[in-house]
Amino acid sequence: MTCILISTFDRCEKLARWTEGRIDREWANHPPVFFAGLSHRDERSLGFDGDPSDWMGVNLQAVRHLRESGHTHGYLLLDDHPPVGRCHAGFLNDRLPALAERLGAACIGLLGYGQHRRLEGEDLGPDFVHLEKTSPAYRWKFSLHPGLWNLGDLQTLLECRLETYPPGQRSPWNFERHRDVPGNPLVDSIAGRCFRIHGTSSLDPEAHAHGTLIMESLSRFVADIGFFAAKVTGGKPARDAAELRRLWMFGHYLGPYPVYWSGCMRQGKPHADFEKWLAVSGPKELVFSWNNAREDCF
């Protein structure tokens, strides 16, 4: 049984509820939504005991609760990663969980390869919708971008991270960027069963997204010409500076759960890159919704 787990904090509850509203709008017949990190308890807010800043401990409690209530898999979302377009509900509700079971996947990341993002492992081919099996050495195999997790594996990984990090260091950033050294059989097993989607192969055919893909590809081609020219005239520092200025343009990733890679919040404030992209390329309804949420959430 699959669910959605939105990880948040009390101070970000309004943003988490807005993200839930975007899921309601864009993802038809989605699995039940639960919240980790809110201090109050009800049937969907799982509550927690202990330090609210202990992200690993708080989310471990939530995962244990979900498993006890019969859930085997969950889409783990940080509160600032709403869908920024129409989701492919059939794929997310049925096909991807079935593939996860078939592959014995620990996690399947929804910010995958393609669309100017490199393949980091093995393309499993059309029978598996071109899912990528990442290398155990891949740095971001446990990325906290939206993804489908086997909750048993997520519980094990959180328990291992708790043993590694003392209180005060149990952040989401340390969870995903920790460099695991081979030798722990529990973590090694999980690291060998990580996958990412190929967004273009798993788009909703009724979403009419291919025009957007073509336009974004053309924009990237033009930008690459500019980056090359900057390198020719000013060397690598000039190219790096040019890329940094335009990074916001290429954070959008089209797939079954369309997402903006950096999320919509940074250090408790609206993320400037997200807002630049939204102003230029975002759907009008999303722009309107965000502008209202912005006043309420920050």
pLDDT attached to residue 123: 96
| CB contact at 8 A, 180 and 191 | yes
Mean pLDDT of 217-234: 69
Q: Which two tokens stand for residue 253?
A: 């990733």
Q: How far apart are CA 186 and CA 160, in angstroms?
A: 8
Confidence of residue 232 (pLDDT cuts 50, 70, 90): confident
Average pLDDT estimate for 75-81: 97
pLDDT tops 70 at residue 54: yes
**Statement: residue 158 has pLDDT above 70:** yes
Of the segments 70-79, 108-117, 200-209, 219-228, which one has the largest average pLDDT value? 70-79
Domains of the chain: 2-202 (3.90.550), 210-297 (no CATH)
Average pLDDT over residues 40-58: 92
Give yes or no for residue 219 having a pLDDT over 90.
no
Q: Are 31 and 3 in contact (CB under 8 A)?
A: yes
pLDDT digits (tens, 9 = 90+) for 264-279: 998 889 999 999 999 9
Q: Average pLDDT over the chain, rounded to whole?
A: 91
Residue 227: is its pLDDT beyond 70?
no
The pLDDT of residue 246: 67
**Residue-level pLDDT at 214:** 67
Q: Is the pLDDT of residue 65 over 70?
A: yes
Residue 228 has pLDDT above 70, yes or no: no
Query: Strand pairing partners for 122?
Result: 133
pLDDT at 242: 62
Degrees to nearest 5, angle at CA 264 with 262 and 267? 80
Residue 34 clears pLDDT 90, i.e. is over it: yes
Please give the Cα distance from 86 to 217 (Å, whole number): 20
In this predicted structure, what is the pLDDT of residue 168? 92
